[in-house]
Each structure stands twice: as structure tokens, then as C-alpha cells.
Chain A
Amino acid sequence: MKASSGFRNTYLQEAADQLEILETGFLALEQDPRNADVLDSVFRAAHCIKGSSGTFGFSGIASFTHNCEEALERVRSGRLVLNPAMARLFLQFCDCLRLLLDAATRGVACDMTRIRSVSQQFQEILDASEESAPEASTGADWRIEWTPPRESFRRRVDVLRLLHELLEQGRTDVKLETDDIPSLPDLDPQDCHLAWSLQLSDAPPLSDLEDIVDFARGGFIVESLNASDSQPITPVEPSASLAPDIAARLLVDTASIRVDVGKIDHLINLVGELVTTQSMISDLGRSFDPERFTMFQERVDQLERNTRDIHERVMSIRMLPIGGVFNRFRRVVRDITLSSGKDVRLDFHGADTEIDKNVIESITDPLTHLVRNAIDHGIESAEERLKFGKPEVGTIRLEASQEGGSIVLSVADDGQGLDTKKILAKAVKHGLVDPQAELTDEQIQELIFQPGFSTAGEVTGMSGRGVGMDVVQQNVVQLGGSIEISSTPGKGSRVTLRLPTTLAILEGLMVRVGDDVFIPPLTSIVEFFRPSPEEVRSLLGQGETICYRGACLPVLRLQEIFGCESKAADSSAGLLAVVEVGDVRACLLVDELLGQQQVVLKSLETHYRRVPGISGASVLGDGRVALILDMPGVFRLAKRKKLLAAHGVRQKAETRG
């Protein structure tokens, strides 16, 4: 029976969550095989996956998980010892499960070779342990008194189904207790007044019954009738005896809920509209009757505060702690460590820093690449490290923090740092740089961001295919962020990513260029000034430049960059906006500064496509659409049209005026 897609999606999400618990648990067990708590939690995760897979018709996954669960059960009961080989097998199980779930999500068939192999290995282990420990008795005997709480029906406990399940567990003797049922006039059909006493023989161990107990949410008194464990077990409330994470999942009022991301996005759109409407009202206020104006202005200010509050809260719904992403790297690091033979430790700082879910999803691949790079190219082998007097185990440090309106993520290693000679040689070989050019160490380091660049001698399985830092940079820049690398030979390297905290609403300055209104993001603007005619000089072949605060900055005209025909602003009559991307500065010629506004970024791509130099559009107070500038994109376009030197005019960033 194929479940409807809504249930299917829920199942797939839950299974993915459980898989993460499994993997984290197995990684931990590799280091500490006797940890009973972790064993319990992975067992329950496997049990959960098996159960829900069966319920939703994924019988292949269910039976595949069964062997793993069985093996875990034997480890828990001491019949099997968790040696390193088994730990590796468990991790391979996770990989296979991931393949299966991925195939299920995409609705395609899955290559079963690995899965069969893992299944086989589990079977061998189980068979081997069968022979060693003779099975005591086929089943346990229980005496169960079940009194479902009165609100069971209201709390959606399917009492009848649970009863049937209980009855299927073994040979049963059931007695229905009806003493509690009130007379008909007093009976509320939504209340549960039934109770049962059961005697279950040849039943499975308590662990199998626990599922039923979980779902019943209370009212169970279970007594073992076997000689070995004669104490009655009384799980009255789920939370009392079961693992906290299961209990937490069962309780109605958990601290978090699952929300469909589409709903959040819709809500965010609405808040965006609210911000726009509030701006429009603000705008209207400018031409109001002065007498009523103060009161009106106060109301508008109030509205602005309310809007800002709602906006912040709504945006924070989509924020998740980055610790989740960092955790995934443990597995990556372990795999690479094993295959490369280097010993590497992972350190996290700032795992609580919250980041928009979309940003997290886009940043995971680049970060993974950076971590791989650090291990592959950064950390030296153990012997080399000892030679240099470094600790044998290399360290990779992942840090996340908030700085103003940005999130700063960094991947640092204490390895050998960037080899500038090797990089320069490679760049010259690929024709990326003139062999005669004199470049500073920093400029050489920046070369690794060029497309097609790779310093690996041969292609390792992990990185060095030349699809590397340039893709990382592109991804980061597309998110509106920036990337920097700094390195000290022999000591290590550090790659720093700077990302905006929110993607959808930003502070913008509206400028008029000819008949058009453009919005450069506030963060890219340093300052405005009005030049005098003498200050603007024209350099042959390089367009106009202006000397300002001791530096020569190129003057860019948006019309030229964008190929518009609107009337060109006169450089002496206009206003210059000093803009900055990274540490490159230039001046943008504009006609007028129209004001600062919170701007809702609307995508052009939804119904059209991505336009270079434009990060989106926004609706102004009068309903017109204004284009939001993507400053890095504008600079790229300018470079292509040779309005900006190919490597930019690099200056140290001065403090803002």
C-alpha cells in the first residue's frame, strides 16, 4: 500500500532525522563502544525507522533496518561486542540507508549492491552470535494491566489498534474490565472507561512491547512472569522509564513543531508586503496637512516599529543554529581522516549562532569543500607535523559569529598554510597571470579563487579537481556575501566567509540616475560627495577617475555598465557615491539621492531570469519598481567593459567617513 504523499513526506523527514541520530550515535560509539545511553538512543532510532518504514509501505527499508536493529539489541544485551569492524559496518549501514531514503524521495530505483553486501554482513554476525549463546526460552511471559487514561480518545490514541497489536505479540488471555463504565445518561462517549487485564505468553522482550506502551501514553502496568526478572515494571507515564528523546517526541506539548517551509515563505512574503505598505504610508505623509501631521507621523512611526518587530520575529522562524551543519562535518572529517591517514580533530565555536535556513542550505556544500581542502592541502601528515614540532593531531576549527548585520563563518587549520610559490607557478602555467607580474603574497593567495585552478598534483578523491575555490566564491557571492583567505606558511590558513543575516529585506539607499531609480545596498556605500569639475580627471583608455581622500577612484556610469540609453549624468553636476566591494572602491555617478528605505527584495528570477548586476527588484512608495544593485555584479560588468581594471583598484579599506 503506497501511502499518500503527505504522509510519505512526513515519513521521509522523520526517517532522515532518525538517520542523523543513528550516524551521530555510531560515530560516538566508535570512540566509546560501551556507552549505554548512546546505545539506547541508536537502538530506538533504528527501531523507529523500522517501524515507520513498515507502516508506510517501505518494506524493503524495514527489513534492511531489522538486521541492524537486531544486532544493536544483542550489543545492548551484551551478547555481541561492538568491535571496530562492527562500528564500521554500522556506519556503512547509515550510508546505505541514506541511499535508500534518497531513492525513495526521488521515486527512483536504488542500486542494491552495497545494501545487499551490508545486509549479508549483518546476517553473518547475527548467525555467528546465535551459535555462541543458546537461546534461553522462546518468549517472555507478561501480565499486563492496561487502563488507558480517560482522555485517550481525545488524545487520538487508537486504543483498539493497540489492543490488537498486543494480542498479536503472543498467546493471550484477555479480560475486559468494565467496572469503570458509568450508566448511559452519565456516559460521555469521548471518555475512555475501558480497561484490560492480559496475560501474554511466549511474547517478545519488553523492548518490542515498549512501542505499544509508548503509543498508549500511559495506563500500563507490566509485570514480568519470568523467573529472571521478577520485578514489576510500571511505566505509567511514558517519560518515567523511556529514553528522554522518545518521551519528548510523544508528549503533546513539545517545545518545537514542524512547520512546512512553504508556509513560512508565504508568511515572509506577507511581512514583506507589510513593510512596503508601511513605506508607502510613510511616503504619503510627506504631503499632508501640517496640523494633523504630527499625530499622523507618530502613528506612522508606531507602525514602523510594529512592522520591524514582526519582521524580526518572522525572519527568526527560519533561523536555525548552525551547529547542525557543523555536526555533519564530523562524519566527513572521519571519512577523510581514515582515507588520508592523517589524524584530524574538529573544533566548533559558536555552534549556537542562528542562520537563515536558506543560507544554511546554500552554505553547506562550500563549507564542506573548505573542510576537505583544509585536510587535504592544509594539514600535514603525522610525521611531518612532529618534525615541525606541531602536535600529531591536526586541528580544524569551525567558527560562527554574528557581526552587525552579517554572519561570519570561518574554517581555520593549523597546517602548512598556502604555498605561494606553488600557487604562483600553477597560475602562470594556466595562463592566469603574467610571469613578469609582481604580486604581493595576498594577491597570490587570491589567485586560488580563479576558475580552473588547482594546486593538487593529482586529483584526490576529495578535492583538487579544479572545481574548487572559485565555485565556493561564486556560491558565497550569490548569497550576497564575501570570502577571504589568510595564511601563514607553516602555521596554517583561515578562510572567512561573511554572509548577510537575512536575505529578503535590506537597507537600501535610493538614487536617481537619469529617469531610473536604482537601489544600491546600504552596506556597499561608503559615502556621497559632490566633486568640483577640476577634481574629475580623464585618463586615456581608462575612463574617468577622481582623486578623493588621497586615492584615485574610477568613476562608473551605470548607463555605460548597463547599456541603457537614459540621459547620461554630467559628472560635474552630479553626485558621486563611493561604493565598496571587498577592498575595491569605485565611484558611482548618480543624479540625486532620494533617501534611505527598508527595501523588500523581490526576485526577478521567479518570472523572468537572473540579470547580472541586479540582485532583485523592489516596489517604491509610488508603486513603481526599482532595481536593486548587486554591487559585486556591477563591478564584474564594469571589469568586462574595461571600465575597471581587471584586478580592481585595490586599496586598504579606510575607516568610513
Chain B
Amino acid sequence: MKGAMNDRNESQRGDRQYLTFCLGQEYYGIDILRVQEIRGLEAFTRIPNTPEYMKGVLNLRGTIVPIVDLRAKFGMTSGEYGKMTVIIVVEVLEKVLGIVVDSVSDVLNVESEQIQSAPEFGSHIDVGFISGIARVDGRLIALLDIAEALSDEEVENPKEAEMILASEG
């Protein structure tokens, strides 16, 4: 009974679990509910005429899933893919996407009190993508709003695709 009460309190307090990963030297976190699975690096198939951060597509048990290099998307210098590089498969806006990250770390419980709003500067990436900064065990983790971070993909490109189609005679 007490456990159930605690659970209710937790969700009321807004505690969430985040999967943390590294891009370069920095730690980021994604809401665990968005994470479908983690896969090792596999060969992608490139798609022509796509932005630099769009690495290609993968076959995930029969579904064709696009793969985004998050470092490239955030405008960071590109890193080498090493043994620790993995793909986190996430579900965003009813689409399934994979993001390439340098390594994954733990799943952390983050209480809402531990989250501060993001600073205006001092980060590589557009602040709009960050829903907050958490301090857990002495580490600063930038909590990503993955829908925001990846939704540019959907927002920009349909227009581009339409433009191409419209200009075709």
C-alpha cells in the first residue's frame, strides 16, 4: 500500500527517468518513455539530397528507419565513430528515428526539483531543444526535448520536397 502511495506521489511530483548519453564531453538525457531500443552501429544506406546530419536509413525488423547524427544536427564538430558509438532508436511524433550518439550511460531518476531551466548561453545547441538542466551526482545533464530537437527534420524538409515537386514540369 505504501509503495503504491509512493508511486502516485512520484508521478505527481513529476519524477521522470532519463536515458543519459554523451556527445563529445557533454551529457544529455532523453525521456526514457521515448526510447524504443539501443542498437550497435550498423551500415546505413545513404539517401540522396539530404542534409549532412541525415546519415541514411536502416532496416529495423522490416521498417525503414532514418538515422540522424545528433552531433551534426547540433552543429558540433563531427566525431569518429568508435566502439562505444551506438544508435538510440526513439519514437517522436509518431515516427521512429535513430540517433547516433558517442556512448550511452545510465538511466537516471530525475526529480523535478533537480531540474533547472536552461541557461541562455553556454551550450552548443539551440536552447529551444533543451527542456532543462539536471544536476545528478555532481554531473550536469542537459535534458533534451527530443521532439523539438528532431522536429526540424519534419518541419523544414516537407517544404523543400514540395518545392522540388512543384517545380517539376
Q: Chain A: residues with CB nearer than 8 A to chain B?
A: 269, 272-273, 276, 450-451, 474, 516-517, 561-564, 602-604, 606-614, 616-617, 619, 623-627, 636, 639-640, 646
Contact = CB atoms under 8 A, between A and B. Distances in A.
A351 to B, nearest CB: 33
B64 A617 contact: yes
B116 interface: no
10 contacts: A269-B62, A516-B45, A604-B66, A607-B64, A608-B47, A608-B66, A611-B161, A624-B59, A625-B59, A640-B167
B1 interface: no
Contacts of B96: 607
Nearest to B165: A612
A640 B163 CA distance: 13
Contacts of B161: 609-612
A272 B59 CA distance: 14
Contacts of A639: 169
A611 B66 contact: no
A608 B49 contact: no
B49 A619 contact: no
A614 B95 contact: no
Contacts of A616: 64
Interface string B100-129: 000000000000000000000000000000
Interface of B is mostly: mixed
B151 interface: no
Contacts of B58: 625
B22 interface: no
A607 B158 contact: no
A607 B48 contact: no
B41 to A, nearest CB: 14
B95 A640 contact: no
A517 B96 CA distance: 24
B137 interface: no
B35 interface: no
B45 A626 contact: yes
Contacts of A619: 59, 62
A564 B48 CA distance: 6
A280 to B, nearest CB: 11
A562 B47 CA distance: 9
A610 B164 CA distance: 11
Kindly list the 5 A-B residue pairs having the minimum CB-CB distance in the complex, ordered from nearest. Answer: A562-B48, A625-B45, A608-B66, A607-B95, A636-B168
A597 to B, nearest CB: 15
B23 interface: no
A602 B63 contact: yes
Contacts of B95: 606-608
B62 A602 contact: yes
B43 interface: yes
Tier of interface size on chain B: 20 to 34
Given A451-B169, A564-B46, A614-B48, A608 B59 contact: no
Contacts of A625: 44-45, 56-59, 64
Contacts of A640: 167-168
Contacts of B43: 624
Interface string B53-95: 0001111001111100000000000000000000000000001
A477 to B, nearest CB: 10
Interface of B: 43-50, 56-59, 62-66, 95-97, 153-154, 157-158, 161, 164-169
B95 to A, nearest CB: 4
Contacts of B50: 611
A603 B167 CA distance: 23
Contact of A609 (B59, B154, B168): B154
Contact of A612 (B62, B65, B164): B164
Given A272-B62, A609-B158, 15 more contacts: A563-B48, A563-B49, A564-B46, A564-B48, A603-B64, A607-B64, A607-B95, A608-B153, A609-B154, A611-B50, A625-B45, A625-B56, A627-B45, A627-B48, A646-B169
B72 to A, nearest CB: 15
A626 B64 CA distance: 10
Nearest to B96: A607
B48 A613 contact: yes
A10 to B, nearest CB: 26
Given A516-B46, A613-B48, A614-B47, A602 B165 contact: no
B169 A607 contact: no
Interface centre among B49, B154, B158 (most CB of A within 10 A): B49
B57 A604 contact: yes
Contacts of A609: 154, 157-158, 161
Nearest to B95: A607
Nearest to B91: A607
Contacts of B63: 602, 606-607
Given A604-B64, A617-B57, A640-B167, A612 B45 contact: no
A611 B47 contact: yes
Contacts of A607: 63-66, 95-97
Nearest to B98: A607
Nearest to A632: B168
Given A450-B169, A609-B158, A636-B168, A604 B65 contact: no
A604 B67 CA distance: 12
A612 B49 contact: yes
A391 B78 CA distance: 74
A608 B50 CA distance: 11
B97 to A, nearest CB: 6
A516 B44 CA distance: 10
B147 to A, nearest CB: 14
A639 B44 CA distance: 28
A559 to B, nearest CB: 9
Contacts of A517: 45
Contacts of A562: 48-49
Contacts of A563: 48-49
Nearest to A470: B169
